[in-house]
Amino acid sequence: MNDPENILEESPDTDTFGGRFSRALDACELDMREFARHLGVRPNTVRGWESDRSMPNFHRLNKIAGLLGVSIAWLLHGVGRGPSETELRNDTPQNVTEQLARLKLLHAQTGELITRLQLDLDRLAAAGR
């Protein structure tokens, strides 16, 4: 939801600044050293931001948001434009295998729920409700 009028209706990303910053940095095309060079800071400074040990100065936030392709509001508060889900995907065989396992579990749980609901409906129909 990138519509500014609906920003308050969004569920905020409840991660910390460092977590959001780290995810956006992973999704951008720059590695940490290049990113630090573009900002005129040391890589250790960027690591401090990623680990929530420090925060960038306010005057750097606009440039950071621009380089990462996210909004300042998303970086600071978790609402607004963040990195797109397709940019965040990490399609390694292990990740895809884990996603498939989660999907199979959800499928099995959904099947069990459907069966229980059908039994409840059958029982209610038999009771004349």
Model pTM above 0.75: no
Task: Return the domain boundaries, the chain.
Answer: 4-88, 90-129
pLDDT digits 0-9 by tens, 43-92: 999 999 999 999 998 889 999 999 999 999 999 988 888 887 444 445 67
Q: Compute the distance between CA of residue 18 and CA of residue 11 in angstroms, rounded to an integer.
A: 18
Read off the tokens for 87: 């940019």
Residues 6+ apart with CB under 8 A from 69: 24, 27, 28, 81, 83
Q: What is the CATH number of domain 4-88?
A: 1.10.260.40
End-to-end Cα spacing for the chain: 43
